[in-house]
């Protein structure tokens, strides 16, 4: 009984000591890691065996067993000490910092001493710059800033045609007594002369005048003495008194006044036409430009912006000629302006078809360059077209390869014309197309063209 109590006390003491050892090892694993906990466990077990041997009687078997276990424990400890320990990796201060590579193991073989160090990659040499000729730069400018996409051209024509139909229906309902002709859109967009989307579509509103009641008087024979204009005079008043024609309400001094007609149509376009409803029907936004002296409509579509110029017109003295109601100043305020555009477009088309030339492309380039220039923008399409017509009738090579040469020739002709402040009209030599420009404007344009000839790339 005493031996049992003694053995039980030993077992209880052993259990208490074993629990303490387990607790110590469990916490040591957290603090010291797996390797440190193993070393601490073996050392603790050795101390426990020494205490047991000193406080309890032992037989020979226990002595042998304890010596064997102690020997095995020290062998395990020596093996753990011999095992190389990995160096802990420091945590990077930020995620963007690279983690350093692990230190090489002592057992890893070293490379040869004469091995070449790794060479860093050589930076690539920059590609040689490509020097483009002026011809190539001119063609690139045409492609990027002048040529209008085919889809946009088709969309612009569709919108212009729909607006023409809506405006014609409005005029017939609003002024049923005034015989307006069919509204037909036209202009550079329809003649292959559209330089970008800035050129307005010409929406002609023709007046149908009664034959025999009206006659045309050249502008030089009027008080204004302006060769660009014509007067439309009312005749046969003794047989057809005033009031016989619906257009008699627009007479001023016996002449059909374009100024009065423009004022009537301006009020209708800005105050009477329901443009928001028409725009929603056509899928665009239409607004009349109130501040402009001309009758302009601004059409905004999700794909493009299109200006539309509403032009009151009547037939000229010769077949195909047009007279426009234009806001002229001074004594020419009641005269009709001669429209040279139909003749210019037809002449350029005929010249290009004769030799497959590039005169129209040259005109588009000139319009595109001048439109984006602060000084040359005052030239307008009319003078530039006349310059191309003067050059176009010369027997020269008008292939695409000579486009840059003709471009420089056009600049030279413009400089010479500005120096003399004279650019005669191709169809009427008595008309100077530079008459409407101020002397300061002529000087600015001449200076810009002079420097453009020295460095034509700067104009693009």
- Greater confidence (330 vs 367) lies with 367
Which residues contact residue 231 at a Cβ distance below 8 angstroms, ignoring those fewer than 6 apart?
Answer: 216, 217, 218, 219, 222, 255, 334, 335, 336
- Greater confidence (362 vs 65) lies with 362
- Look at residue 260 in the predicted model and tell me its pLDDT: 95
**What does the pLDDT look like over 260-310, one tens digit per residue?**
999 999 999 999 999 999 999 999 999 999 878 889 999 999 989 999 999
- Cα distance between residue 281 and residue 170, in whole Å: 15
- Look at residue 37 in the predicted model and tell me its pLDDT: 53
Q: What's the pLDDT band for 421 if we cut at 50, 70, 90?
A: very high
Measured from the Cβ of residue 54, the count of other Cβ atoms closer than 10 Å reads: 8
**What does the pLDDT look like over 181-225, one tens digit per residue?**
999 999 999 998 988 767 899 999 999 999 999 999 999 999 889
Q: What angle, rounded to 10 degrees, do the helices at 341-355 and 381-392 form?
A: 30
Which residues contact residue 352 at a Cβ distance below 8 angstroms, ignoring those fewer than 6 apart?
Answer: 358, 359, 360, 398
DSSP result, 253-273 = TTEE-HHHHHHHHHHIIIIIS
Question: Average pLDDT of the chain?
Answer: 80
In sequence order, what are the beta bridge partners of 219?
none
> Which domains are assigned to the chain?
148-339 (3.30.460.90), 356-459 (1.10.1410.40)
Which residues contact residue 67 at a Cβ distance below 8 angstroms, ignoring those fewer than 6 apart?
Answer: none
Take residue 416 and report the two structure tokens written for it: 């010479």
DSSP helix, strand, coil percent of the chain (3-state; round to 5) = 50, 10, 35
- Look at residue 1 in the predicted model and tell me its pLDDT: 41
pTM, 2 dp: 0.70
Give per-residue burial for 113-147: e unless 16+ CB within 10 Å, then b.
Answer: eeeeeeeeeeeeeeeeeeeeebeeebbebbeebbb
Is 8's pLDDT higher than 50? Answer: no
Q: What's the pLDDT band for 127 if we cut at 50, 70, 90?
A: very low
- Look at residue 317 in the predicted model and tell me its pLDDT: 83
């Amino acid at each position: 009984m005493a031996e049992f109590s003694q053995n039980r006390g030993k077992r209880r003491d052993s259990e208490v000591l074993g629990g303490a050892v387990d607790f110590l090892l469990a916490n040591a694993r957290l603090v010291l890691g797996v390797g440190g906990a193993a070393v601490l466990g073996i050392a603790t077990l050795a101390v426990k065996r020494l205490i047991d041997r000193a406080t309890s009687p032992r037989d020979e078997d226990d002595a042998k067993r304890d010596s064997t276990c102690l020997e095995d424990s020290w062998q395990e400890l020596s093996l753990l000490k011999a095992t190389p320990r990995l160096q802990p990796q420091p945590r990077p201060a930020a995620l963007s910092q690279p983690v350093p590579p692990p230190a090489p193991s002592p057992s890893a073989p070293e490379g040869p001493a004469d091995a070449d160090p790794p060479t860093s990659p050589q930076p690539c040499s920059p590609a040689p710059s490509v020097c483009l000729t002026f011809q190539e730069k001119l063609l690139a400018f045409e492609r990027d800033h002048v040529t209008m996409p085919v889809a946009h051209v088709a969309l612009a024509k569709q919108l212009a045609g729909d607006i023409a139909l809506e405006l014609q229906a409005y005029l017939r309902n609003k002024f049923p007594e005034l015989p307006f002709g069919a509204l037909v859109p036209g202009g550079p967009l329809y003649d292959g002369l559209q330089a970008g989307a800035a050129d307005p579509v010409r929406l002609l509103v023709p007046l149908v005048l009664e034959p025999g009641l009206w006659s045309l008087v050249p502008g030089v024979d009027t008080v204004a003495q302006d060769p660009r204009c014509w007067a439309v005079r009312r005749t046969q008043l003794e047989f057809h008194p005033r009031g016989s024609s619906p257009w008699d309400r627009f007479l001023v001094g016996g002449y059909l006044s374009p100024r009065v007609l423009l004022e009537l149509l301006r009020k209708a376009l800005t105050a009477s036409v329901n443009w928001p409803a028409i725009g929603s029907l056509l899928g665009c936004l239409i607004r009349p430009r109130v501040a402009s002296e001309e009758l302009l409509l601004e059409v905004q579509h999700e794909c493009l912006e299109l200006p539309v110029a509403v032009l009151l017109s009547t037939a000229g003295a010769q077949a195909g000629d047009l007279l426009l109601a234009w806001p002229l100043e001074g004594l020419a305020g009641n005269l009709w302006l001669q429209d040279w555009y139909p003749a210019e477009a037809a002449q350029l088309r005929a010249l290009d078809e004769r030799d497959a030339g590039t005169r129209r492309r040259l005109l588009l380039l000139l319009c595109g360059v001048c439109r984006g220039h602060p000084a040359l923008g005052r030239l307008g399409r009319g003078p530039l077209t006349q310059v191309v017509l003067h050059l176009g009738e010369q027997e020269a090579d008008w292939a695409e390869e000579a486009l840059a040469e003709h471009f420089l020739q056009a600049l030279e002709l413009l400089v010479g014309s500005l120096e003399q402040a004279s650019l005669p009209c191709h169809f009427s030599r008595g008309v100077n197309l530079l008459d409407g420009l101020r002397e300061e404007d002529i000087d600015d344009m001449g200076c810009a063209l002079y420097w453009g000839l020295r460095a034509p790339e700067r104009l693009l």
